[in-house]
Amino acid sequence: MPSPGKNPPPDKPHLDACRRCELWRNATQGVPGDGPRHARVMLVGEQPGAQEDQQGAPFVGPAGHMLDEALARAGLARDSVFMTNAVKHFKFELRGKRRLHKTPAQREVDACGYWLEKEIRDVDPDIIVALGATAARAVLGEKRVTLSTLMDTAVVHDGRVVIATYHPSFVLRQRDEAGRKAAFDRIVASLRHAVRTAAKQQR
């Protein structure tokens, strides 16, 4: 299985030089999407975390490990999907030496739309799984849509099936085991939905 981030796309230098918003100033590097260039399923998260920022690849930290488990449960091989984020630079606030995740502002999501749209065009997936509200809004281009209105229903947008679900870090934020299990199971159900949709489209 190829290791995430081992083959950065040719436009990584352009992403690193991106000045469409200010997030590049404090981030280590831009984190492009990773996966087969023509994957049928694309997963879109919010933004890279601290580990992704250092390694230059999406979903390689704790949320990524949670996502890997969900993918395995759903029977979707990680190396068959293209993983990316709505925002390509890590936004954080410093607490002592720790870099704590900060939700990107709408203007930063909008500015980064250039890169997400380019990835969607280049990979041309049939199915996009949006992980969390930021991703869903970025993919659908609807700033006010909420995750609760989208959960459990697939919508067709620009000719692609879009399935919105929880972000894997939502699982990690749950206080108890029952909450974690419920959130995790919802993500697995959404990924299974993506697998079924891909199988139907192949027939």
Give the binding site for ligand URA (CB under 6 A): 45-49, 52, 58-59, 61, 63-64, 85, 169
The 3-state secondary structure of 101-143 reads ECCCCHHHHHHHHHHHHHHHHHHCCCEEEEECHHHHHHHHCCC
Nearest residue (beta carbon) to ligand URA: 45
Tell me the helices (H) and strands (E) count for the chain, helix number first: 8, 7
The rounded distance, in Å, linking the Cα atoms of 11 and 148 is 35
Helix, strand, or coil (residue 90): coil
Q: Which residue, 125 or 168, is less far from ligand URA as judged by CB? A: 168
**Cβ closer to ligand URA: 63 or 71?**
63
Based on CB atoms, which residue is closest to ligand URA, 188 or 196? 188
What lies within 8 Å, CB to CB, of 196 at 6+ separation is none
Instruction: Let me know: does 148 contact 159? Beta carbons within 8 Å.
Output: no
Cβ(151)–Cβ(138) below 8 Å: no
Q: Please, which residue, 102 or 196, has the CB nearer to ligand URA?
A: 102
Q: Looking at beta carbons only, is 63 or 191 nearer to ligand URA?
A: 63
Rounded to the nearest whole angstrom, what is the least distance from the CB of residue 174 to ligand URA in the complex?
16
